[in-house]
């Protein structure tokens, strides 16, 4: 599975520019799906048909990543930029970004005061240009961060575990789901990092009875970290609440029951900030029973997001257990 993880987490795909990601994921799921489609916003949708006795279920894992977009090219060829999604200035200094055509740039700051982090507007990207005329990029070009995947034992680190690891969970679950009573729509969604937009349009179109997001969540196991009952290596996190939604109580109970019955390591998640694709699924059209299986992740929205392979496996097993059996809420 690490080969698939490496392929996805190292790929380019800022919000709104997910074409390359979609072309990587499509051949992974197309042989496994009964139908496959791409909607107007760019969501990749793979349908696994059930036996007709179950529900209409939407699984959402977002393909996009945080990134930057060129907003101005200076006379000396350096690039000013704005953020795409939740980019924090303190993660930028000396980092590298990659544009859609493979061009690499280095980020630095022109205002450096001891003990202080300059704002995004004081950072620039160096792509080797000496003037505006010889600059190889244009205003509006987007870039993702550049950092290789590596594994240390069960700990896996990369720039975009959020949420390429959720995509891996969806792909692996689709591989293992031989039969289901439900019509399951695996949606690899776009533009989650800028407002869960892809999942919103997909949910409005598919009108699911049940929606399950696959996304990372924070952990509370770091020094002086937030008070949160989620730790790396302790299993799949079953979301109860985040700042954007309260998970359907019946779906939470079902997830917990399935995990206990199959002896799948799990933990309960209450996240005080942030939300997932479960929110737009929950409130689309007349609404649906929505929840989230979360992959615990350290250092979210940095270039070294870290998950545990055992937690990833637990999330895959839990999703398959839910989808292979009747869902009674």
Token pair belonging to 135? 């600059």
The rounded distance, in Å, linking the Cα atoms of 10 and 60 is 20
Residue 96 in contact with residue 106, Cβ under 8 Å?
A: yes
φ, ψ of residue 142 to 5 degrees: the values are: -105, 150
Q: Is residue 261 among the annotated active site residues?
A: no
Q: In 3D, which of 162, 143, 166, 159 has the Cα closest to residue 67?
A: 143
Residue 317 CA to its chain's centroid (Å): 19
The rounded distance, in Å, linking the Cα atoms of 98 and 11 is 10
Q: What angle do CA 210, 270, 295 make, to 5 degrees?
A: 70
Which stretches of 181-248 are DSSP H helices?
Answer: 197-206
Token pair belonging to 226? 């937030």
Which stretches of the chain are DSSP H helices?
Answer: 2-9, 19-29, 161-176, 197-206, 249-261, 278-283, 309-323
The rounded distance, in Å, linking the Cα atoms of 119 and 226 is 24
The rounded distance, in Å, linking the Cα atoms of 111 and 121 is 10
Given the residues 65, 192, 305, 313, select the one marked as catalytic: 192
Residues marked active site are found at: 192
């Amino acid at each position: 599975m690490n080969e698939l993880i490496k392929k996805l987490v190292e790929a380019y795909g800022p919000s709104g520019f997910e074409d390359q990601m979609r072309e990587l994921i499509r051949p992974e799921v197309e042989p496994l799906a009964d139908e496959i489609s791409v909607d107007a916003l760019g969501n990749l949708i793979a349908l696994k048909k059930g036996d007709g006795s179950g529900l209409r279920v939407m699984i959402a894992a977002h393909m996009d990543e945080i990134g930057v977009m060129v907003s101005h090219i200076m006379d000396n060829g350096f690039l000013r930029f704005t953020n795409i999604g939740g980019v924090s200035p303190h993660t930028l200094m000396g980092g590298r970004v990659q544009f859609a055509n493979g061009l690499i740039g280095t980020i630095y700051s022109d205002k450096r005061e001891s003990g202080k982090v300059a704002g995004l507007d004081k950072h620039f990207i160096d792509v080797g240009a000496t003037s505006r005329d010889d600059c190889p990029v244009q205003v509006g070009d987007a870039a993702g961060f550049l950092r290789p995947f590596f594994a240390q034992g069960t700990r896996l680190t990369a720039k975009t575990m959020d949420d390429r690891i959720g995509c891996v969970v969806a792909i692996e679950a689709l591989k293992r789901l031989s039969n289901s009573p439900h019509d399951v729509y695996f949606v690899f969604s776009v533009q989650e990092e800028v407002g869960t937009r892809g999942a919103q349009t997909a949910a409005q179109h598919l009108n699911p009875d049940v929606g399950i997001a696959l996304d990372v969540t924070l952990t509370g196991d770091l020094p002086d970290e937030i008070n949160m009952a989620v730790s790396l290596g302790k299993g799949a996190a079953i979301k109860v609440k985040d700042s954007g939604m309260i998970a359907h109580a019946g779906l939470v109970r079902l997830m917990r029951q399935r995990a206990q019955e199959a002896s799948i390591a799990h933990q309960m998640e209450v996240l005080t900030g942030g939300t997932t694709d479960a929110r737009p699924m929950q409130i689309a059209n007349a609404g649906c029973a929505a929840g989230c299986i979360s992959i615990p992740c350290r250092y979210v929205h940095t270039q070294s997001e870290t998950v545990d392979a055992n937690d990833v496996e637990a999330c895959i097993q839990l999703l398959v257990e839910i989808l292979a059996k009747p869902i009674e809420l």
